[in-house]
Structure 1
Amino acid sequence: MTAGDATAPHPVRVFLVDDHALFRTGVRAELAAAEQVEVVGEAGSVAEAVAGIAHYQPEVVLLDVHMPDGGGAEVLRQVRPRQPEVVFLALSVSDAAEDVIAVIRGGARGYVTKTISGRELADAIVRVHGGDAVFSPRLAGFVLDAFSEGPGSAPVGDPELDLLTPREREVLRLLARGYAYKEIASELYISVKTVETHVSSVLRKTQLSNRYELSRWATDRRLV
């Protein structure tokens, strides 16, 4: 071993969280060509992610935002208090402002969309591991707006909104966009009955009486 080899940095240990197995396979294949990162494990649900991160002790977690059992925000909520040293980088098909803001508030260090190339993703992983904040183009503006204190900026904290679970926020967002219950169920991979349960819970927590009031409430809080 040469002196250069002895001092070479080790690959960043990465754990992949996404509920689509085919996508995880593709990410693994893309990152396999990158010497600076190493995928040490993967998970397709919140429960698997929490257990896997504890077991494999990765340095960076690539985190999907939307999953059937709670999504990236729930993984962050459970893992960060136990393993504060782990860095999270959201990797999602969504470029919606509310999704970006939710995971950044939850503790993610960056947010990139699934249009990113394998080389760019590997570079983003290395950067967040090194302490940088990394965002796909235009997404950084959402974060600056949300956490700025200027006129018209989104509130950093909303006690009423904080009462809702990540899944309830997802259901509310789609409801406010005009989706029918069946369409929401299909979008989030849950049953219509589960959608109805979430809507009832949101109505109770917000003390509103119908979906039209909920839509106005969601619009006022920039969820739509």
Structure 2
Amino acid sequence: MTETADTGRGGGVERRVRVVLVDDHRMFRTGVQAEIGRTEQTGVEVVGEAADVDQAVTVITSTRPEVVLLDVHLPGGGGVEVLRRCATLMASADSPVRFLALSVSDAAEDVIGVIRGGARGYVTKTITGTDLVDSIFRVQEGDAVFSPRLAGFVLDAFASTDAPPVDEDLDRLTQREREVLRLIARGYAYKEIAKQLFISVKTVESHVSAVLRKLQLSNRHELTRWATARRLV
């Protein structure tokens, strides 16, 4: 894990990142854009905004940004629900969408909740524009970024639990097969899965057949029970 730096990274290489801003307060969204704009040559382009969970999922799916700035508390289920519904985008091998929580809350349960949901970092709204831009680029590059005191919550939370056991059955599946498995277990039809993953229905069928064969299951109902028991849904 890395903490946010005091200043943006230097160097002559121009960096670009496309960002979606998710927050239910319009004035705050406007303020973030203005603050980012004050940082000279940021290379950060805000390509979409959203004020609730449904809007967020729609905008993120349609624009596929590199980074999403995500508030924790949102109408429709909160930031954790956005993460859950965008799980396949986060898992994309080619162009993953990464999430950075940006919230007024510094409560441990909020921090742990979104990190377990898949966010790459968590910073509070007291962050400066320069530090925010630096955090966005760090998350884009795959770093885990936290405001200094919040990193301790995450370390304590994961240190207090045993490391998850190796699941040999799950390890047999490819990343794409795991994505299909999760969507099947959530009740998606083959056509819906194909649309979500930008693949054909025939390819979905092939993945499902492979998953059933590898896990020695007979049908999607057994598959759903298997996934639920492992909390993969």
Name the TM-score, length of structure 2 as normaliser: 0.60
1:114 aligns with 2:125: yes
Partner of 2:20: 15
- Asked if the contact 1:146/1:155 (under 8 Å) is kept, the reply is no
| CA distance, structure 2, for counterparts of residue 155 and residue 67 of structure 1 | 31
Asked whether the 8 Å contact 1:100–1:143 carries over to 2, the reply is yes
Structure 1 runs of 4+ with >6 Å offset: none
Structure 1 runs not aligned, ≥5 long: 1-6, 158-224
SS of the aligned residue for 1:62 comes to strand
Q: Give the secondary-structure state (helix, strand or coil) at the position aligned to 2:126.
A: coil
The CA deviation at 1:9 is 3.7
TM-fit CA distance, 1:56: 1.2
CA distance in 2, matches of 1:141, 1:86: 25
> What do residues 42-67 of structure 1 show as CA deviations (whole Å, max 9, x unaligned)?
10010000000011110000000001
TM-score normalised by the chain length of structure 1: 0.62
Give the aligned partner of residue 174 of structure 1.
none
1:139 aligns with 2:144: no
Q: How does 1:78-157 map to 2 (within 5 A)?
A: 78-84=85-91, 85-148=96-159, 153=160
Report how many aligned residue pairs link the two structures. 147
Contact 1:12 1:38 in 2 (8 A): yes
Paired position in structure 1 for 2:67:
60
Q: In the alignment, what sits opposite 2:56?
A: 49
Counterpart mapping for 1:126-205 below 5 A:
126-148=137-159, 153=160
**Is the 1:90–1:108 contact (alpha carbons within 8 Å) kept by the matching residues of 2?**
yes
CA deviation after TM superposition for structure 1 residue 31, in Å: 1.2
Identity across matched positions, percent: 65
1:69 to 2:76 alignment: yes
Give unpaired runs (5+ residues) of structure 2.
Answer: 1-11, 165-233
Q: Greater relative contact order (Cα 8 A, min sep 6): structure 1 or 2? A: 2
Report the 3-state secondary structure (helix = DSSP H, G, I; strand = E; otherwise coil) of the residue aligned with 1:90. Answer: strand
